[in-house]
């Protein structure tokens, strides 16, 4: 396993749209191991997307199990993920392995349903909410060439928010 170099903004390649995976070859499975090692090497990283290391394939890994008091599905390898349902909205702070020394508030859906292939090529259906749902949405954005910077809301915005989103 190897820790791969991470592309950092403003690298233009981060805007590239990634291609669907057509086959789970040994080489690709080995790459997923490296991708995971790269995610775990970063301080506090709870997710990573293949394009962040310059491989433009629709593969992300999310693991928020280190966080206290949240519901989660443990380690998730999501291949060709598609969000099928969105519900609710919440603002929270995000940062990115590809954007050092900057964090900001982003609006995301509170609950999502998605389908994706796992490492064994099995189709999985996942319903998730809160922090894990946020992490998945952040990573899926990378597959479409979007960064959290593209979705920032002003740090002053929640002062004027009319609705209070209780956890």
Partner 1 sequence: MTGWYMLTIIGRDQAGIVARVTAVLYEMGCELGETSMLRLGGNFSMMVMTHCDSSQQQIQQQLEPVIRDLNLHLHIDAIDGHLHDHIDPNMQVSVHGADQAGIIARVTAILADNQFNILDLESDVGGTAQDPVYVMHIVGTCLKEVEQVSAALAPLHAAGIQIRVRSLDTLIG
Q: Which residue is nearest to Zn ion (CB)?
A: 96
Stretch that binds partner 1, among 21-29, 80-88, 100-108, 114-122 (CB under 8 A): 100-108
Do strands 123-129 and 47-49 pair parallel, antiparallel, or not at all (unpaired)?
unpaired
* Minimum distance, C-beta of residue 84 to Zn ion, in the bound complex (Å): 22
Going by C-beta distance under 8 Å and a sequence separation of 6 or more, which residues neighbour residue 56?
Answer: 13, 16, 17, 18, 19, 50
Closest CB to partner 1 among residues 120, 159 = 159
59 binds Zn ion (CB under 5 A): no
Q: Please tell me the distance from the alpha carbon of residue 119 to that of residue 21, in angstroms, as a whole number.
A: 11
- Whether 139 sits among the annotated catalytic residues: the reply is yes
Candidate list 7, 62, 90, 96; residue touching Zn ion; CB under 5 A: 96
Burial of 3 (0-12, 13-18, 19+ CB in 10 A): middle
The token pair at 132 is 């894990």
- Answer whether 1's CB lies under 8 Å from 37's CB: yes
For 17-36, b/e burial (b = at least 16 CB within 10 A) is ebeebeebeeebeebbeebb
Stretch that binds partner 1, among 9-17, 18-26, 79-87, 127-135 (CB under 8 A): 127-135
Closest CB to partner 1 among residues 92, 123 = 92
Residues annotated as catalytic (active site), given as ranges: 139
- Binding site residues, partner 1, CB under 8 A: 42-49, 62, 67, 92-97, 100-103, 131, 134-135, 138-139, 155-156, 158-159, 167
Tell me which residues touch Zn ion (CB under 5 A): 96
């Amino acid at each position: 396993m190897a820790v791969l170099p991470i592309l950092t903004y403003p690298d233009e390649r981060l805007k590239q749209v990634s291609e669907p995976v057509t086959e789970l070859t040994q080489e690709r499975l080995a790459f997923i191991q490296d991708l995971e090692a790269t995610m775990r090497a970063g301080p506090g990283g709870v997710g990573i997307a293949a394009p962040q290391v310059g491989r433009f394939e629709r593969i992300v890994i999310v693991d928020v199990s280190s966080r206290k008091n949240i519901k989660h599905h443990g380690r998730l390898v999501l291949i060709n993920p598609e969000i099928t349902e969105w519900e609710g909205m919440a603002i929270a702070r995000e940062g990115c392995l590809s954007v050092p020394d900057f964090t900001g508030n982003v609006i995301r859906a509170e609950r999502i349903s998605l389908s994706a292939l796992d490492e064994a090529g099995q189709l999985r259906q996942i319903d998730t909410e809160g922090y894990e749902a946020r992490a998945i949405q952040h990573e899926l954005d990378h597959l479409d060439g979007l960064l959290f910077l593209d979705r920032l809301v002003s740090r002053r915005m929640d002062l004027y928010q009319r609705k209070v989103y209780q956890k």
